[in-house]
Amino acid sequence: MRHYDGAIWREIPCGDAPETISWNPRDGVVLHFRDGGTRVHTNGLFEVRTGPTNAVPLPFLDRRAAVSLPPGELAQTPLAARAVHTHFADASGNLWFWLRQESRACLLRLDDLRLTAGADPLDTQPDCLKIVASATPTPGALHYAYRLDGAEAWQPLPAPRGAPARLRFPQSGVHTCEVAAVVYGVRLPRTVSFTHTVRVTPPDTRLLVRQDEMPLLVTETGWRPPVEAIPTAFAKRSVCQVVWREADSDNPWRPLQADGRFPLHLLATNGLYHLDFAAREERIQIDPSPVRLAFRLALDDEGLLLL
C-alpha cells in the first residue's frame, strides 16, 4: 500500500499483497487477502479485522466510483502508465486507486481539501447565476459538479473557455444549489451549498387547432403535431423546441424528431391517445402550462409496418 500526498510516496505496511479492495460506510476501506483475512484502514494504517466486515464489492461502490480513466489522465503522477482498474473516494474525501495487476492500492490524500463556491446574479439574465468555484490545495484534473434542490443526479458545472460557470434555473422560486469537487472523474463527498431566489420567464406553448376539432385523426406516419413553441425572445428561437409526454404523467419530457414529426413508433399501435405538449427553452426551462392534444391514430397496415 502506498500513499501519494502530491510530492512523495510513503509505504503503509499491510502484511501481504492484497487480492482486492472494497469500501463500506461502517468500516471504510478494507483490504482482502487470499487467505480470507481482512485489514481495515484506521488512522493511516491497515489493522487486522477479526470479525466480519460489511464489504462492498468494487463494482457496487457508490456512484462516486469510476471504473476507468482516460488515457494520460494520470500522466503527471506516480501512477503514469500504470493500469488503474478502478478508483473511488472514501468518506473523508481521499482518492483510492486499485492496481489489480500489481495487487496494489494507492491513496491520494485529499481529506484537507477546502472547497468554496460563490454565486453572483446577472442583471441581464434573472434566470441565471455566475458561479465561481475553487479548491485548495488544487489537485490535478480538477472539475466541479452541481445539483439543484437535492436532485439525485449531479451535472457537470459548465465553464466555457475558462470563464466563470453560468447556471440556468428551470423555474421561478427559491432554489438550493450544491457544488462538489470532481478529481480524476470522482466526485468528492464534501460539498458546499447556497440558496438563491430566481425569477424565470418561461417560453409559451400555442395550440394551432381548436378544442372542438379534437380528437384529431392521424392517418400518416409523417404526422406533425399542430403545436408551436414560442420563445421568450427572438434570439432564443433556435434553442426553443416542442416536447411531449403522456397526459397526467410524471414521465420525462421527450423532444419531437428534428424535422418536427412525432415519433409514432413509440406508440406502436392504433388507438386514442392523450398527450401533453410544452415549449422547452435551453433544454431546461419548460412552459408550466402545457397544452393537451387528443388524437386517434388510424394507420393502415402498411403504415403500421413502417413504424
Confidence at residue 49, expressed as pLDDT on a 0 to 100 scale: 60
The residue-averaged pLDDT of 194-218 equals 90
Q: What is the mean pLDDT of the chain?
A: 81
Q: Which of 48, 83, 108 is the last residue of a domain?
A: 108
pLDDT in the model for residue 204: 95
Same domain, 17 and 92: yes
pTM, entire model: 0.66
Q: Are residues 43 and 64 in the same domain?
A: yes
Pick the more confident residue, 166 or 117: 117
Measured CA to CA, the distance from residue 296 to residue 282 in angstroms comes to 31
Cell of 206: 400555442
Assign 3-class secondary structure to the chain. Answer: CEEECCCCEEECCCCCCCCEEEEECCCEEEEECCCCCEEEEECCEEEECCCCCCCCCHHHCCCCCECCCCCCCCCCCCCCCCCCCEEEECCCCCEEEEEHHHCEEEEECCCCCEEEEEEEEECCEEEEEEEEEEEECCCCCEEEEEEECCCCCCEECCCHHHCCEEEECCCCEEEEEEEEEEECCEEEEEEEEEEEEECCCCCEEEECCCHHHCCEEECCCCCCCCEEEECCCHHHHHHEEEEEEECCCCCCCEECCCCCCCCHHHCCCCEEEEEEEEEEECCCEECCCCEEEEEEECCCHHHHHHC
pLDDT of residue 4: 60
Per-residue confidence band for 172, with pLDDT thresholds at 50, 70 and 90: confident
Per mean pLDDT, which range of 61-65, 69-73, 265-269 is the poorest?
Answer: 61-65
pLDDT band at 34 (very low <50, low <70, confident <90, very high): confident
Whether residue 221 sits in one domain with residue 194: no
Which of 93, 108, 123 is the last residue before a domain boundary? Answer: 108
245-265 pLDDT tens trace: 999 999 999 999 989 999 999
Amino acid 8: pLDDT: 53
State percent of the chain over pLDDT 70.
Answer: 84
Number of domains in the chain: 3
Does one domain contain both 52 and 91? yes
Indicate if 212 and 226 belong to the same structural domain: yes
- Domain final residue pick, 198, 230, 255: 198
Please report which confidence band the pLDDT of residue 10 belongs to, taking 50, 70 and 90 as the band edges: low
**Which of residues 105 and 275 earns the better pLDDT score?**
275
Q: What is the mean pLDDT of residues 79-99?
A: 82
| 195 Cβ contact partners less than 8 Å away, ≥ 6 residues apart | 174, 175, 176, 177
Specify the pLDDT at position 197: 86
Q: Tens of pLDDT along 106-115?
A: 888 888 889 9
Judgement on whether residues 171 and 208 belong to the same structural domain of the protein: no
For 55, half-sphere exposure in the C-beta direction (CA atoms, 13 angstrom radius) is 19
**From residue 182, how far is each of 88, 95, 146, 149, 185 by CA, in Å?**
11, 11, 10, 19, 6
Task: Determine what percent of the chain is predicted with pLDDT higher than 90.
Answer: 27
What's the confidence (pLDDT) of residue 67? 42
Q: Which residue has the higher pLDDT, 78 or 224?
A: 224
Whether 274 contacts 247, CB under 8 Å:
yes
Position 164 pLDDT exceeds 50: yes
Average pLDDT, stretch 98-102? 77
pLDDT given at position 53: 45
Residues 20 and 104 grouped into a single domain: yes
Q: Give the closest residue to 144 by CA, choosing from 118, 122, 106.
A: 118
Range of the domain at 33: 2-108
What pLDDT sits at residue 161?
Answer: 56
| CA pseudo-torsion sign 56, 60, 62, 64 | positive
The CATH number covering residue 140 comes to 2.60.40.10
Q: What per-residue confidence (pLDDT) applies to 159?
A: 66
Question: For residue 259, what is the domain's CATH number?
Answer: 2.60.40
User: Per-residue pLDDT tens for 50-61?
Assistant: 554 444 444 333
116-150 pLDDT, tens digit per residue, is 988 877 776 777 788 888 888 887 778 889 898 99
Residues 160 and 178 in one domain: yes
